[in-house]
Structure 1
């Protein structure tokens, strides 16, 4: 496919994107090469030394420690709804950066995102938005309890019906846990690790890559599937490639958790060289099942079957939830002129009917996706409080907030896999600009 050129202004080709394994460790190492942070933490064109603040960070030390040597401008802006962190920054200032920033995303005080954030802060003033709601915690813990009960039942009865139920519950639990690993450190984020995928890896690939730069060359959730699955337009996809991509798509969903698990433990032993509690969590289910199955090997076989089906359901929901459709911006399309981070974010996402009307469905199906991208650290249950602020700001800036149906996005994911057309894509409307030959 060759090296692509981003159509997002100022976005250079990231180091590490073409690495064979494409691990999250390699993503961060690439950022350290590219970001001009000079071994410190970069925000806009300023360098800060946060070393003494790592253990004091209310969101947990991990967020600060693993981003050392990188540009954290977008992460800093969108992870802090309160104005207090901005007031604290000057005490950690070291010097101006030498190299220019690689990203042209803006956070203008009069721009879309800053205005929306101010209104969202007002809308959330009566709730403790730094912590998950009681409702979300009850749903998460309830699904966790049912998941444990179902794996025990699966080990005892060896029923395919029970196995399917178990896989669905594990999928829901993994997606719910995604709500929690966006926040400060908490035990519920480890529910995600039961899927064999890593909550630490996803804090990088999902939170620090996909969430901040969706559908661009910097989005790990785009390039981790390449070259077998390519959602970017204008890359001269042949008819043979499109047929292959369609046939491989369900296989990719089926094995994705296992591939991420293999990379997780490779990276753990070779790159991170540090075992954490979360790294033994995935084996809690097969160990538990072994007490009720006829043999440990029987428990392992059932566990692998559960993981396979759960992987398929999880990635089917994830890949068709919000980002892939011909009417959604993908790098290669013509970028909007206003590079406000919030507007760029909304160009790369669409919300869904029905799913967004229920807290349970939103938590278990990556719902309220636009609001979640704009306010990633706010619990899904509280996002509904920000709907009016969202509508008002979208109206002020002429942003189309039309929702798609789940079926439109399911079809759209395959249409996007086949799309060669380059579009002028923004939430005000779409038109075909040109077609690659």
Structure 2
């Protein structure tokens, strides 16, 4: 690898050339002042997560290295050794991975830090392009210390119950899909699609963790587990509801979730209902975007991307006619997409009382507390069982605090979370599912920013 100075200088030259491509999105001002820079290549006209990653590399400005807090590391030789799989280290090259590092490692933390130290290159010269703090006496670090002995005892990997639920959903989908195609029944097709949608949401429990074949359940739905590891785990989870959250910007400029800019009549009163009608096409749109991106050379072909095409071929062979097989495939994917997109958009983040960039930020933006500011908990009784948690993005505040811990084991951490919240005089946002659904529509209309909740 090139020396530190030449690597960063070359990166800065590339960044300067790339600045000309940034859209007027970069005029948006974050709640966190000049520290947070907007990654401009996003939204309807720039929908590719690899473009977002390219801009993040430019803004983090660490050359071909990896940044953790205020130090730079050369993890090139660690890619193949990473216990969680090589993808996490490989795609994050050239970025600040502080938030990812802190929110992924909860046990044997000192040993992890010693391993990281072996790859130290130099101290960073510029401040991080992130406002979040990880003070030793702050909320998140305190919570991690309290949680470590519990996680050591119960483990982080998928529980038997979570695995059984996920595998059962897969079997249910396969049976329903075969019946749907063979009988040419729309009822079975919708049922198969719903099972696939649940399976897709449940797969989210697996791809936050080390590599496992079960993450590919996600790719059966026409979405991409690899792309979502970047857009969801590396963007949304680390910077929820901020201008660095790729997912919150997917509909821009037609759909404005953040209250940063003025919103037109179309934004406030038409688009919220248009969104409801388009949940079903989300998956097929993602297929189209991926094909365009591949043709443009913006990403490489991955073997798992062929799973959805394999499904189409199988359905066309099983159906009475090729056209019937194609129609069954399309209906199943539409039903799956509706479940996934509807649940995603109304699960936890978009009630108006949740923090959205543009609202007043915390004076001391502790990472853990900022996660909770942007995330709500569901209070309905039917969302308390593990099946619902896995298939509707449930127990979301705890999941954002401990993303690499299995959903089936988060229940063991609720005690220390409540204890730490009480210690810091904080509380969770809690709503019913109906309140979250209504809240999403209210948020889409909101252009008035809020003061920090505790100062109200």
Going by fraction, where is helix more abundant, 1 or 2?
2
State the match for 1:301 in structure 2: 327
Question: Aligned equivalents of 1:36 and 1:262: distance in 2?
Answer: 32
TM-score by length of structure 1 reads 0.94
Confirm or deny: 8 A CA contact 2:181 2:325 kept in the other structure.
yes
Question: Aligned equivalents of 1:329 and 1:75: distance in 2?
Answer: 20
Question: Aligned equivalents of 2:363 and 2:383: distance in 1?
Answer: 30
State the match for 2:207 in structure 1: 181
Aligned residue among 386, 401, 422 for 2:449: 422
State the match for 2:17 in structure 1: none
Aligned residue among 279, 283, 293 for 1:257: 283
2:152 counterpart of 1:152: no
Superimposed CA distance per residue, residues 376-430 of structure 1 (whole angstroms, 9 cap, x where no aligned partner): 111000000000011001111111225210000000000001112210134x47x
State the match for 1:323 in structure 2: 349
Superimposed CA distance per residue, residues 9-54 of structure 1 (whole angstroms, 9 cap, x where no aligned partner): 4211224246822311111111111102121111112110001010
| 302-311 vs 284-293, which moves further | 284-293
Q: 1:18 to 1:245 in 2, by over 3 A?
A: closer
State the match for 1:4 in structure 2: 28
Question: Aligned equivalents of 2:97 and 2:61: distance in 1?
Answer: 11
Confirm or deny: 8 A CA contact 2:267 2:444 kept in the other structure.
no
By how many angstroms is 1:234 displaced? 4.2
State the match for 2:439 in structure 1: 412
Q: 1:139 to 1:18 in 2, by over 3 A?
A: closer
Please state whether the residue corresponding to 2:204 is helix, strand or coil. helix
Please state whether the residue corresponding to 1:280 is helix, strand or coil. helix
Superimposed CA distance per residue, residues 184-220 of structure 1 (whole angstroms, 9 cap, x where no aligned partner): 1101000000110110110011110000000000111
By how many angstroms is 1:297 displaced? 2.4
State the match for 2:77 in structure 1: 52
State the match for 1:277 in structure 2: 303
Q: Which runs of 5+ in 1 are unaligned?
A: 432-437
Confirm or deny: 8 A CA contact 1:15 1:31 kept in the other structure.
no
State the match for 1:77 in structure 2: 102
Confirm or deny: 8 A CA contact 1:133 1:381 kept in the other structure.
yes
Please state whether the residue corresponding to 1:424 is helix, strand or coil. coil
Give the total of aligned pairs.
428
| 221-230 vs 69-78, which moves further | 221-230
Confirm or deny: 8 A CA contact 1:347 1:425 kept in the other structure.
no
Question: Aligned equivalents of 2:78 and 2:362: distance in 1?
Answer: 37
Q: How does 1:1-400 map to 2 (within 5 A)?
A: 3-9=27-33, 10-17=35-42, 20-82=45-107, 83=109, 84-129=111-156, 131-271=157-297, 273-353=299-379, 354-400=381-427
By how many angstroms is 1:8 displaced? 2.1
Confirm or deny: 8 A CA contact 2:347 2:436 kept in the other structure.
yes
Confirm or deny: 8 A CA contact 2:198 2:339 kept in the other structure.
no
Q: 1:406 to 1:376 in 2, by over 3 A?
A: same
Confirm or deny: 8 A CA contact 2:197 2:337 kept in the other structure.
yes
Please state whether the residue corresponding to 1:216 is helix, strand or coil. coil
Question: Aligned equivalents of 1:155 and 1:256: distance in 2?
Answer: 22
Confirm or deny: 8 A CA contact 1:148 1:285 kept in the other structure.
no
Q: Which runs of 5+ in 2 are unaligned?
A: 1-23
Confirm or deny: 8 A CA contact 1:105 1:340 kept in the other structure.
yes
Q: 1:208 to 1:355 in 2, by over 3 A?
A: farther
What RMSD, in angstroms, separates the aligned Cα atoms of the two structures?
1.7
State the match for 1:435 in structure 2: none
Question: Aligned equivalents of 2:280 and 2:390: distance in 1?
Answer: 22
Please state whether the residue corresponding to 2:64 is helix, strand or coil. coil
Please state whether the residue corresponding to 1:125 is helix, strand or coil. helix
Question: Aligned equivalents of 1:344 and 1:239: distance in 2?
Answer: 31
| 104-113 vs 116-125, which moves further | 116-125
